[in-house]
Amino acid sequence: MKRLAIISVVLMLVVSMAACGTSSSSGNSITVSDAWARPSTMMDHAGAAYMVLQNNGTTEDKLLAVESDVAQTIELHQTTADSGGMMSMSPVSNIPVPANGKTELKPGGFHVMLINLTRELKAGDKIQFTLNFEKAGKVPVTAEVKDQ
Amino acid sequence: MKHMRWIALIMIGLLLAACAHQFSGVAPNPIGPAPDFALTDENGQPFKLSDLRGKWILLAYGYTHCPDVCPLTLSHLRDVKQAIDPTGDKVQVAFVTIDPDRDTPDVMRQYVGHFDQQFEYKFKGLSGTPAQIAAAAQPYNVKYEKKADNSANGYSMAHTAEVYLIDPQFNWRMTFPFGIEAQEIASDVQYLMQNSEAK
């Protein structure tokens, strides 16, 4: 009897977890994790923020813009390396996030560039961003300033 | 009994082979004197790289308006210094700008100051005329070029982003590619410090 009760509880948990998975994978919902930014060096020098964008939807989505009061201008940038090891950084019009997949914004790749900072960024500070996606719309994100 | 001795010897051999250091950086072939250059330091004083002879030098090139690649490199070099020589002056970091139009000695001092604040022995932030920078970059195969793009951040600089290790005898010992972790650099530097005759 006791064993039956345990099996029932486990089954209910599995069913409820599966249900959660189904609900989050429908539509074009985006989840953002591991958002962080570097401490600022100088106020007139651009800063950078990084995060992982997870697309739970069945079609590709695109990050189009990022808003925050932390900088006067915020651009999406990508660093790429050529075959000779030259690293160059260019603004991009969007950052694609594949269907049921993720795009990692990380040093040496895609990043959110913070131009003309409105305040100094120190380790431990929190920054509020609003990410604007083509399909998912506006997604609020809190990034921590980390000296890493 | 004789077999046992052979087995023990083989076991010791395998253990030593497993412990052999695997370098993450690439050693020049052959190892030879490091190219010297003359620039201006973060205090506006004339500076030659060979002024650092006697120390392990970690040399990197970049620019201060670089928000992505250069802070990563300098954070790594800070972590390497922290791991192997946090209070001493055996390991010296030198950062050379490839954007002398914007990176004056004063800007370089402020910039490297964000990465060396916990150390008593500070990083060198080196600037100079465009011709001096070119002369400091070319012998290390550092490539760079100005890129006019439509960013509100102004122009950017494309550049190679390797780190060069020079030993206390002023020999160029190793080149670390961009993207390797701080602990990999620290492990190679530590190994060479402990086996400084090994080439």
pLDDT by residue (tens digit) across A67-92?
999 999 999 999 999 998 999 999 99
Cα within 13 Å of Cα(B127), Cβ side: 21
Q: For an interface test with A, give the residue of B77, B104, B106, B153 to mutate (most A CBs within 10 A).
A: B153
Q: What is the pTM of this model?
A: 0.85
Give the mean pLDDT per block of 10 residues along chain A (148 residues).
Answer: 54 42 49 96 90 96 98 96 92 97 97 95 96 96 94
Please report, for residues A17, A129, B192, the alpha-carbon distance to residue A112 in angstroms, rounded to integers and kept in the order given: 33, 10, 38
CATH number at residue B145: 3.40.30.10
Which stretches does DSSP call E strand in chain A? 30-37, 47-55, 61-67, 71-81, 86-91, 95-97, 101-105, 110-117, 126-133, 137-145
φ, ψ of residue B152 in degrees (nearest 5): -70, -10
Closest C-alpha to A50, from A34, A62, A71, A26: A34
pLDDT by residue (tens digit) across B152-166?
888 999 999 999 999
* Contact between B68 and A47 using a beta-carbon 8 Å cutoff: no
Cis peptide, bond prior to residue A39, ω within 30 of zero: no
Nearest neighbour of B159 by CB, restricted to A73, A86, A116: A86
Return the domain boundaries, chain A. Answer: 28-145
* ipTM summary value: 0.83
Name the CATH topology of A28-145: Immunoglobulin-like (2.60.40)
B151: domain range? Answer: 25-194
A107, A50 contact by CB (below 8 A): yes
Contacts of B160 in chain A (CB under 8 A): 84-87
* In-domain check, residue B18: no
Cα within 13 Å of Cα(A11), Cβ side: 6
Q: How many domains does chain B have?
A: 1
B173, B192 contact by CB (below 8 A): yes
Nearest CA in chain B to A83: B160
